[in-house]
Structures are given as structure tokens and as C-alpha cells.
A and B are shown apart, each in its own frame.
Chain A
Amino acid sequence: GENVEQHPSTLSVQEGDSAVIKCTYSDSASNYFPWYKQELGKRPQLIIDIRSNVGEKKDQRIAVTLNKTAKHFSLHITETQPEDSAVYFCAASGTGEDNYGQNFVFGPGTRLSVLP
């Protein structure tokens, strides 16, 4: 089955700097990669996603890149702000071999701290 690794487990940056979180996946059939942000005591919320036929996607200060050959994808946050402090999870899913598709498999998470 799919396995998703995520690095680093913790990341501290100064406000205004950039943050990069990297994930690798094992199943070449995975073709959809969402990223979730989870603030303390809250639910995970989708912040950006990317499909396998796209190499990069941007949404304001957030971008995601995908390298299908190397089976890795990364989250980039520019001009970080204190409200970006949270745990970030990457995930992978795919079409699968049957009619139902592949379940989402999550990375273990990265705790990002943005220092003022």
C-alpha cells in the first residue's frame, strides 16, 4: 500500500522568511496530493492541492510543487506570518484499481512555528 513520508517534523522560521515542507510517496498510482493545515485544537483544513498532471500550483503565499518521477511533492509558504503557525499534513490518494479509488494516506505532519 501507499506510504507517505514527511520532513521535517518540526520547523521554526522567522516572520517574513519562507518555509518548505517535503513529502515523498511510494505508490506510482497516486495522482492527487492535498495539503492540510491544523491549528491547535481544530480540525485539519485543506489549504491547497495538486493533481499529478500539474507540476506546480500557487495560491497567494502558498505553492505546491510535484515531481512525479521522484515521487515527491513540497509545500512552499512565502512571507510567513505568525498565523501560519500550525501543523501541516500532506496526503496522497489515487484512482485505484477498482471503481472506488484509493484512500487518502497522510504524512505524520510538520509543526511549523513562525517566530515574530
Chain B
Amino acid sequence: NAGVTQTPKFQVLKTGQSMTLQCAQDMNHEYMSWYRQDPGMGLRLIHYSVGAGITDQGEVPNGYNVSRSTTEDFPLRLLSAAPSQTSVYFCASSYRLGVFSPLHFGNGTRLTVT
């Protein structure tokens, strides 16, 4: 199993550009999520999905969209990039919430918005 795969690893955007961060898992996990990690702020939840066709907002959803058309894929879209979105983004999946199943993280995407 590859686990959780994120692409790209690095990205530089100009303010106002849009892009999609890709995330795929091959563990048949129901739950998938996106976090951003900023210095001193820990991991903050952006959006999450408890199954195909179901998505919801986390703590910091503004400026981001998600969709979950398949169990395996959970892309994160930046609609109009802003310097405040400079961060490291992690995709994470779990078998299911509420059943003592831990999160498995991808390797992260380091995004810089200039």
C-alpha cells in the first residue's frame, strides 16, 4: 500500500492564481481531511469528508473548496491564492471517525504565495 499520496510536494503561486492539491489514499478509508500547518499554530482542519459525496467545513475553510467523488480521492482547491495561504498542507485519512482509528498523513505540500 502506498498509504496517503499528496502532490505536488512544492508549489509557488502568485496572488490570485488558483490551483488544486491532490490527495489519494489506497487504504479504503472512509474519512479524509485537509490540514494546514503554520509555525506555532499546530495543525488546523480546513475541510473533511466522512465518505464519498459528503464534505464539510473545518476550522479554517475560507478560500478553499473540496469535493469527494470517489472514496480514494480528496482534492483541495485554492480559488484565488492569497499570501495568507502560504503554509504546509497535509492530507490525512482514517478508517472512520469515532472508532479509535488514527489519522494517516501524506507527506505534505509546501505552498508559497507571493
**Residues in chain A within 8 A of chain B (CB atoms):** 31-32, 34, 36, 42-46, 49, 51, 89, 91, 93-96, 100-109
Contact = CB atoms under 8 A, between A and B. Distances in A.
B98 A109 contact: no
B97 A102 contact: yes
Main secondary structure of the interface of A (DSSP, over half): strand
A46 B98 CA distance: 17
Sort chain B's interface into a size bin. 20 to 34
B41 A108 contact: yes
Interface string B70-114: 000000000000000000001000001111101111111000000
Contacts of B48: 103
Nearest to A45: B105
B110 to A, nearest CB: 9
B25 interface: no
Contacts, number: 57
Contacts of B90: 43-44
Interface of B: 33, 40-43, 45, 48, 50, 58, 90, 96-100, 102-108
19 contacts: A31-B100, A34-B103, A43-B105, A46-B103, A49-B100, A49-B102, A51-B100, A89-B42, A93-B98, A95-B98, A100-B97, A101-B96, A101-B99, A102-B97, A103-B58, A104-B45, A104-B103, A108-B40, A108-B42
Nearest to A44: B105
A17 B104 CA distance: 30
A96 B97 contact: yes
Contacts of A43: 90, 105-108
A95 to B, nearest CB: 4
B112 to A, nearest CB: 15
B20 to A, nearest CB: 20
Contacts of B102: 34, 46, 49
